[in-house]
Amino acid sequence: MTTPDTRPLEGPILDIVVNLWTPDLTSNYTPKLDAFWKKVKVLGTTHAGVPLEDQLGLMDDAGIDKGLLIATTGGWEGSDIYFEKPVARIAEVVAAHPDRFKGVVGINPSRVVPWMRHVEEAVREHGFVGAHLYPHWFGQPPDHRIYYPFYAKCAELGVPIQIQVGHSAQGFLPTVAQPMRLDRVALDFPELTIVGIHIGYPWVEEMISVAWKHPNVYIGCDAHAPKYWDPSFVRFIGSRRGQDKVLFGTDWPVVGFERATGEIGELGFSDEVRRKLLWQNAVRVYGLEEWV
């Protein structure tokens, strides 16, 4: 019987789900989210914000070299839960730290044509490398027709889309994103690269099955601390069928940078699996070979 490898992580690390948490942005979140922030123990930082330099320092402490910075958006425009982290703000940070960050543009189906133009501008003009969707903020599952124009646009632009799957976690939002809802999307858009983020919890086996079935579907391991990952997910990451399918992410500050890397170091993955999980898979899926 071999002894599990629990050495500290070595080599480069790329986090595919990083939130900018400066006070100019966190102040725009609806107060309805306070119960969720309290639950995940970031309520204080949400109201106060975290200076960018402090966030970079936390990444340094955890050994995280690079991150994909998300221009998140949620809620229908005009509603009391609507929020948007502007592409221009994320692009500003990326331009100031080009070796550290790449941008990912949020998708909002409130007004399809303007928001599709928004996505194209982010990719073509600002060099964003992917898109991001929170289905539960719009009350419709990932395979609903309201998102299909955006999937087509991402496929046309050749950028992956991150789609939150699993329960909504927020008490005021319905759960609409069971992982199997990605099955239809993957069939209809074989040219589209899909990353099911947040693991798909509590339907982890379902998320694994969709990623195994479709060559264009991957799993982001963000938003859930590695200490609590389902054993089947840990086995999948270390297996031949799964080691090329999972990309490291934190959804910081939901999961702390140092906590995530430290707990992954305790899971006993081989050096090869660690390299794929923490770096190589993301570089390949997002086409970042020239950046890194």
In three-state form (DSSP H/G/I as H, E/B as E, the rest C), the secondary structure along 2-45 is CCCECCCCCCCCEEEEECCCCHHHHCCCCHHHHHHHHHCCCHHH
Q: Tell me the two tokens of residue 188.
A: 């209809």
- With a cut of 70, which residues of the chain have pLDDT below it? 1-8
The pLDDT, as a whole number, for residue 2 is 45
In the chain, where the domains are located: 14-285
Task: Please list, in sequence order, all residues whose beta carbon lies within 8 angstroms of the beta carbon of residue 252, skipping any fewer than 6 positions away.
Answer: 15, 17, 18, 19, 21, 55, 58
| Residue 113 C-beta-side C-alpha neighbours within 13 Å | 0
- What phi and psi values does residue 180 have, to the nearest 5 degrees? -65, -15
Do residues 116 and 150 make contact, with C-beta atoms less than 8 angstroms apart?
Answer: yes
Long-range pairs for 142-146: beta carbons < 8 A, 24 or more residues apart: 142/177, 142/181, 142/182, 142/185, 143/181, 143/182, 143/183, 143/184, 143/185, 146/109, 146/112
| CA distance to 4, 26, 140, 243, 269, per residue, from 240 (Å) | 17, 40, 34, 6, 12
- C-alpha span between 239 and 235 (Å, rounded): 6
Q: Tell me the two tokens of residue 36.
A: 């969720």
| Span 161-190, pLDDT tens digits | 999 999 999 999 999 999 999 999 999 999
Q: CATH fold of 14-285, please?
A: TIM Barrel (3.20.20)
| Span 76-100, pLDDT tens digits | 999 999 999 999 999 999 999 999 9
The pLDDT, as a whole number, for residue 55 is 98
